[in-house]
Amino acid sequence: MSISQQIGKLKKRVQKRLKLPRLFILFLGAIAVLCFWVIPAFTQQPIPIKVFIQSLEGTQWEPIVRDFNQTHDNIRLEVIKGPNDTNLVEDLYTSAFLLGDSPYDLVYMDIVWVPKFAAAGWLMPLSDRISEAELSEYLQGDIEGGTYEDQLYRMPFRSDGGMLYYRTDMLEQAGLQPPKTFEELIQTAKTVKEKNIAEIGYVWQGKQYEGLSAMFVEILEGQGGYWVNPDTKEVGLDGKEAIQALEFLRDTIKTGISPEGVTTYAEEETRLLFESGKTLFLRNWPYVYPLASKSEIAGKFAIKPMIHSPGENSGACLGGWGPGISSSTKHPDEAWEVIEYLSQPDVQRKFFLETGYVPARKSLFTDPTLVAQYSYYPNLLDVVENSALRPPIAQYAQASDILQRYLSAAITGSLSPQQAMQAAARETRNLLGR
Ligand code: GLC
């Protein structure tokens, strides 16, 4: 072998040796890309964000949840459905928090739970996540209802206000107008019943639960009375207006315009009775409107602000729901991403079009698409802007519990309205340390 041949052989061997490590390095590189980018991208699980909601609304959220999950790979929004009574849902959230870390990342709250949940430290403050300008798009009452000690804990989603539903066809047949005062409601219902046009005069929520307190606030406001002054903590339940308010409720049963069963009805029972076609008047929230429009009374009813005493204002109790972030969630940013999504005007328009709930975002009350479907929306804005608040105090749940117990005792006949209101006032003063 010549020298040049030997050199050539040596070169080839060296080149072969060099090729192996290069291939090896390329191989390692490929593995790294697979491990750190490709496989995680395919196997990464979306972060679950859970929220517990009343059953009826949970079902109505299904399109939102579907749209959200289709457009967000990183998060999986999950709704767990609970009972329909607000205080049962509140109790279940409360037990979850008391037992330790809540399994829910978002807390979908009734306006009256906020002070208690915030005072207990169960919610994360939201004020740093949202600007004043964005908040000014919402109804003032809803912002205030979501605020505790100057911090926002609940983002407004939907507002609420009690209204009077009436059968337009029945009133027309009797030649009567919708009532404005308590007295007119009783007289009109009596006449329509006597003429056998309606079987039932008036249905309202008389079951011992939060809905009873909310409904009573409207009657109280319509009489010019008050429950608790949030600034002075003064209690007005034994005032003459409060006693008259309770007498009105008891009289609807005594005179037979309301069935005795009202003392066991929540929102849904009264809605179904109204939809069955037998009932002239119903007190309920605006969610009933689209549902009743699909029932046999479609096109035969209308809504108006609640009745009041002559010279007093119509009272609508401010209700409403919105999400907050649980202080025990491990994913506050993802929970906030859901809240931001829910706050988009387009998402809300779609939801309200479908459900007829009351918006909390002011511009939606005059939104042409929504007004085309619900012509009363602009008037509703006026109703909710002038609505009555349940006392925004941390002891609200106990105060409401006292009121519910005594209202129930009076409407079922075991105490007189005066005895009931005096006892309720006494217990409420004890609770508030007055
Ligand atoms: C509605 C209201 C809520 C109220 C409840 C009473 O859901 O939005 O604020 O507490 O009714 O039943």
**pLDDT of 193 over the 60 cut:** yes
Quote the CA–CA distance of 178 and 164 in Å, as a whole number: 9
If one counts every other C-beta atom within 10 angstroms of the C-beta of residue 37, the result is 10
pLDDT at 43: 61
Quote the CA–CA distance of 37 and 304 in Å, as a whole number: 60
Question: Domains (ranges, CATH) in the chain?
Answer: 47-159+318-388 (3.40.190.10), 161-316+395-431 (3.40.190.10)
CA 273 to centroid of ligand 1, rounded, Å = 19
Q: Which of 142, 157, 218, 285 to mutate to test the pocket of ligand 1 (most atoms within 8 A of CB)?
A: 285
Confidence tier at 20 by pLDDT (50, 70, 90): low
CA 319 to centroid of ligand 1, rounded, Å = 5
What is the residue-averaged pLDDT of the chain?
A: 93
CA 140 to centroid of ligand 1, rounded, Å = 18
Confidence tier at 101 by pLDDT (50, 70, 90): confident
Q: Ligand 1: residues within 6 Å at CB?
A: 86, 110-112, 160, 210-211, 214, 267, 285, 319-321
pTM across the whole model: 0.88
Which residue CA neighbors atom 4 of ligand 1 most closely? 319
Which residue CA neighbors atom 11 of ligand 1 most closely? 211
Q: Which of 57, 60, 86, 283 to mutate to test the pocket of ligand 1 (most atoms within 8 A of CB)?
A: 86
pLDDT tens digits for 149-160?
999 999 999 999
**pLDDT of 26 over the 70 cut:** no
Confidence tier at 44 by pLDDT (50, 70, 90): confident
CA 213 to centroid of ligand 1, rounded, Å = 10
Give the residue among 249, 247, 239, 244 at the shortest CA–CA distance from 429.
Answer: 239
Atom of ligand 1 nearest to the CA of 158: 8
pLDDT tens digits for 396-433?
999 999 999 999 999 999 999 999 999 999 999 999 99
Atom of ligand 1 nearest to the CA of 319: 9
CA 210 to centroid of ligand 1, rounded, Å = 7
**pLDDT of 21 over the 90 cut:** no
CA 243 to centroid of ligand 1, rounded, Å = 23
CA 396 to centroid of ligand 1, rounded, Å = 14
CA 368 to centroid of ligand 1, rounded, Å = 27
